Amino acid sequence: MEFDLFGRRIVVERAPSGWAVFHPYEEGKRREAGIRIPPDILEADIAQYLADLYHEDASPAHPNVRRIQ
C-alpha cells in the first residue's frame, strides 16, 4: 500500500512482525521510514493511525493522509 503522508510518500507492507514502512525511491529502491505501526492495527485503519501520529506535519497544501494504492 502506498500513502501520501502529509506530502511524503511512504509504502506500508505486511511483515511477519506486523507492518513495515518504507520511503520509496527511484528504480524500486527504498529505505526504512522509522515509523512503527502496531501489528494489531487493521489495514483499513492505517491511514487514520498515521494521521493521528503525524498530524503536526499537516499543512494547507497537504492537509490529509491518503492512500495512493
**For residue 68, which amino acid is it?**
I
- Residue range 45-67, pLDDT digits in tens: 999 999 999 999 999 999 999 99
The 10s digit of each residue's pLDDT in 4-57 is: 999 999 999 999 989 999 999 988 889 999 999 999 999 999 999 999 999 999
Contact 30, 23 (CB under 8 A): yes
Q: How many CA atoms lie within 13 A of 57 on its CB side?
A: 12
C-alpha cell at 66: 491518503
Number of domains comprising the chain? 1
Q: Are 41 and 50 in contact (CB under 8 A)?
A: no
Q: Which domain holds residue 37?
A: 2-67
Number of residues written out for the chain:
69
- At 60 the three-state DSSP class reads coil
Global model pTM greater than 0.85? yes
